[in-house]
Structures are given as C-alpha cells and as structure tokens.
Chain A
Amino acid sequence: MKHYKKMIQPYVVWAALLIVIPLILIALYAFTEEGNEVLTLSFTWKNFAKFLESTYVNVVVKSFWLGIITTFLCLLLGYPLAFIISRFPEKTQATLILLVTIPEWINMLLRTYAWMNILADNGIINQLLDLLGMRPVNMMYTDFSVILGLVCNFMPFMIIPIHTSLSKMDKSLIEAAYDLGATPFQTFRKVIWKLSIPGVLNGIMMVFLLSVSTFVIPKLLGGGQYMLIGNLIESQFISVGDWNFGSAISLILAVIILIFMSLMKRMDKQEE
C-alpha cells in the first residue's frame, strides 16, 4: 500500500485550509475587538469577560440542561426501540432501521413546522381535544414543545449506534447468560447493557452535540425567550453584528464540547 502514501496530500492541504484555518480565524476574532487592523492587532480578553455576565452564564446553563434532558430522553426512549429492533429477524431489522432513518432525510425545518401546527394553541391536537370536549392545552413555546422537537429530530442518532452495537453482539452471549441462570432482566443488566455501552456512548455524544448547539428548533418551537448558545451565536453574527463576541462564544462552545467528547472517549476506552 506504500504506493498510495502520497494520496493523502490533497486532503492535508484541504484540511489545513478548510478545517484548521477557520478555527484559527474564530480564535483570532474571539481574542480581538472590532475594527482591528491586521497590522495593529492587539489581543483582548474582553469578549470572554463579557461572557461571564450572569445572562450569558444562564444561557449556557440552560443549553446544557436542555442538552442533558434531550439526551436522557432519547436514551430512555431510543434504547428500548433499538433493543426491540435488534430482536427481529435480520431483514425486518434492516427495514425498521430504514424506517427510523427516512425522517432524517426530510428537511428538519419542515418537520419542525409540522410540529408547530400540531402543537399550536389552535393546532391539530387542541382541535381534537376540542372535539372530545376537553379543555385546550398550551403546548407551543414551552419546554415541552422544544424538548419534543429535539427528541423527535435527534432520537434516530441515538437509536442507530445502539442498534449497531446490539445487533453485532454475539447472540450466544445472551444464551450463555440464560444458561448460567440469569433471568431475562439479569441478562439485560449484566450482559446486554454492558456490551452495548460503546453504542450508548456514541449515541449520547451525537445527541448531546446536536442538541446543545441547535438554534433552529428552539427558535421555532420555543420562541424568542428560548435563548440557547446556538441562538446567541446566531444573533451575534446575524442581527447584533458583534462577530468578535460571537466568535468567543463559538470558541467556548467548541472547547466545552471537545472536553466533553474526550471524556466520553476515555470512558469508552475504559469500557473496552
């Protein structure tokens, strides 16, 4: 394979240009102030100091809280589904996994709009309740609607890695556990769950990453009061126009995520 060593050169150049330089640019913006010329570059911590104000800290706390809740719910609901799917015959499994994936191919915004119409005060659910003579329920622009939207959008990212780890598990291990006297529940707890942990960690990483940095779904389903890190970054770039502060927030978010990811990776290694 030595002949092909040189084939990585295009990507090395590419990665330097389109992966590394953008990060450097973000860092550069984060540590400088607006209107700084390249020649008179002076670094500042101001953007980071600003971030420590309680408002912004609250935004971060809320984002992480939401990320954790979403991840937890996706795991809680997605694991059983992945587990059940992995118990079907192989052909059915493939079909079911396909069915889980297809919605991801439909534009995320469209699905979110549909949820808005389902959950709205005069939306489909409330119309049904009305027909049944029940009082309408306020669902839109609440934690409920945001979390619902996030879970609906991100759950497949939890299901698929878990299903992969469950379906490639040697079935005889489960039989071995039964054989050694483990009840179905004990078998699950002591063998199946333990062996699916790499998939679970993968799913957690994916869902948490997506939900902590999202800005479209909270904006649409939660309204403007649903300020998350993603929204904060977006508004700094799009409406406020403070690119430096926006870059600083991006940098902080990236660093937090990378720390989180490397912790998860380490856990994963230990499990193995």
Chain B
Amino acid sequence: MSNKLIELKDLTKNFDDQQVLRGINLDIYENEFLTLLGPSGCGKTTTLRIIAGFEEPSSGEVLFNGIEISKLPPYKREINTVFQKYALFPHLNVADNIAFGLNLKKVDKSVIAQKVERMLKMVGLEGFEKRDVTLLSGGQQQRVAIARALVNEPKVLLLDEPLGALDAKIRKQMQFELKKIQQEVGITFIYVTHDQEEALTMSDTVVVMNNGEIQQIGSPIDIYNEPENRFVANFIGESNIIEGVMVKDFLVEFDGFRFECVDKGFEEMEEIEVVLRPEDLDIVAPEDAKLTGVVQNTTFKGVHYEILVKTDLRIYKVQTTDYAEPGRKVGLSFEPEDVHVMYKMGAY
C-alpha cells in the first residue's frame, strides 16, 4: 500500500447538458481494495469507466504510474474489468472466454491452456472448460468473468457492481472469495457498488460519492464511525441525525442538553449535525438519562429489537437486545465516543 498507482485529478464529465462528475480527485494505491460507494446516478460507474477507458473525461487527468492515460484506448491499458452482467461472449465456451485476451496477445497455446486451468482452479470451476457460458448459473458466470479478466495479469481490476445480479447467499460467499482472490493475486481492485455492507466488508478504502462528488474517503471503520456529513451518515448504516451546536472542543449541544464528545477542531458555536447510531443507544431508567421519552413501537428483528422512542423533540431509533414494551417511559444513554459530530450539509 505504498505507491500511488492511479491518480484522478479534477475529473469532470458531462453527458449532453448534464454534469455527472464535478471534479473528482482520488489517489489509488498498489494492492489496494478500493470501493466506490454511492446511490445510483452518483457518478461511481462513470468514474470507473473513465479509468477503464470507455469514457473520456470532459476535463481533468487520469495518471497511471504517473503517466497521463485519459486518451489511451481501453485495449492499451493494463487494466481489466469485470462487467455488471459479466459480458461473457455467448459464442465462446468457458475456456475460450478466459483465453480471449491471451489469444489476442498470441500467447503460446500450451501456456494459455495452463493459465486457463490455473484460473479455473482459483475461481473454483475446474473441469468447466468446455461448458457453454450461457448455461452457467449467475455465480459461475461471475467466476468466469473474474478469471477472464485476471488471466491477463492486469495491474488493476475494475469491478462494476459484480454481485448485483446474484442472490443473497451466493453474494456473501462471493464477497469473501473476491477478497481472498485480491489478496492472492496482490493487485489493486477498484470496486463499484451501491451496497454499503459489501463496501464495508471487503474494502481497504471506501470512497463515498454522491451527485458527482466525493463525500468522504476513508477506511470502512472511519466511514462508519466518523461520517463527515449527513449524506454519508445516512447512506452508511442507520442513524439518528440531530442538528446541534458545537459549544467548544469535546462539548456538543443538542436537544437542549450539552454532551461530552470526542470531536474537536470545529469553530466555537458552529452549527453541526450529530450522528447517534441506533446500536450505540441504550435504554435505561429515565432517571439515569438526560434524554427521556416514551416507547412508541417495538419490533423484533432477530438479533435485536428495534425500538422507537419518542422524546419531546424527535423520535430516536434504538437497537438493543433488551425488550421494552410500548408506552413505557424510558431514558436513552450513550457514551461520549458514540457521539459523531459532522459538518452541516451545505456548509461543507
């Protein structure tokens, strides 16, 4: 994770009158698993396609190992892609699909055969060489697509929502396998998804995007625990977002009370927003807490209960293993490190 492999500098992209990228700056390192995360239409796929070479940026630069490549056609880049719906060639069988890139490079047949076999083994499809790709299951097609890209030994593998078409169980399994493969081959993966869980489980770095702009770059833990703004907080996990004021470093005021926190570096009395994750909230006796309210609704969710507590000003969502019957008066408590203070949207 040392050398910068790809640098995106001030990328913008317009389609007709619509601006889909508004100045993307991003450094991507060797051997990194980086995820572009965001809702549909946020520009994550466009960014990926610019890196792959399918789109040219309207302005800005794409550096690969320090060399500007934004005008280089895709077939001259040491980058391969796993497509959303895999884009396997229907007229070729599994082995020929995987060997496609090597055949173009006129690699020796026996070498190709070896490499294809190794790839199939890696993705767990030994013996599938002659199969018709159109008759494979989604998960199997996925593996072929990965093998087809990796066999070319690219420096970077781009994955465009590769698990989107799979059902939940296979998805989980593939997440795990993808991470394993990335570690095995030791190259950079750039992964596009709108699924926050996927992003958090697999990535080294998560880039949250919205509306053509990067909202936050960070490790999954940072992104989850220290969302920089309301959008990130809302998009990643469930949140109680409360407007408040930063009284001074380590002290925040909201809902009419002052609370300790671990955040600093804001101006005094700056308007901010606070995130309280539902799982960080605890239900306690009303007398033990500053915030009190009445249980409005309790839903069993398997591992925990989801309890909605109505206070004077708002409704808090709480996830806890303790049961609380609706109508009961309760208190809410949390630790200072659970109070995440964010810049207010718009002031950013």
Contacts and interface: CB of A to CB of B under 8 A. Distances in A.
Contacts of B170: none
B244 interface: no
Contacts, number: 66
A176 B148 CA distance: 10
B91 A181 contact: no
Contact of B81 (A179, A183, A186): A179
Q: Is the interface of B mostly helix, strand, loop or mixed?
A: loop
Contacts of A178: 53-54, 73-75
A178 to B, nearest CB: 4
Contacts of B6: none
A37 interface: no
B76 to A, nearest CB: 8
Interface residues of A, number: 20
Contact of B89 (A181, A186, A191, A271): A191
A177 B105 CA distance: 13
B164 to A, nearest CB: 13
Interface residues on B, range: 20 to 34
A195 interface: yes
Interface string B209-231: 00000000000000000000000
A182 interface: yes
A178 B75 CA distance: 5
A46 interface: no
Contacts of A186: 75, 104
Nearest to A197: B91
User: Is chain A's interface secondary structure helix, strand, loop, or mixed overall?
Assistant: helix
A240 to B, nearest CB: 50
A176 B75 contact: no
Residue of B54, B105, B149 with highest tally of chain A CB at under 10 A: B54
A179 B52 contact: yes
B83 A175 contact: yes
B89 A179 contact: no
B285 to A, nearest CB: 59
A195 B149 CA distance: 21
A186 B53 CA distance: 17
Contacts of A21: none
Interface of A: 170, 172-173, 175-184, 186-187, 190-191, 194-195, 271
19 contacts: A170-B87, A172-B83, A172-B85, A175-B54, A175-B83, A176-B88, A178-B74, A179-B52, A179-B74, A179-B79, A180-B148, A180-B149, A181-B75, A181-B101, A182-B104, A183-B75, A186-B104, A194-B91, A195-B89
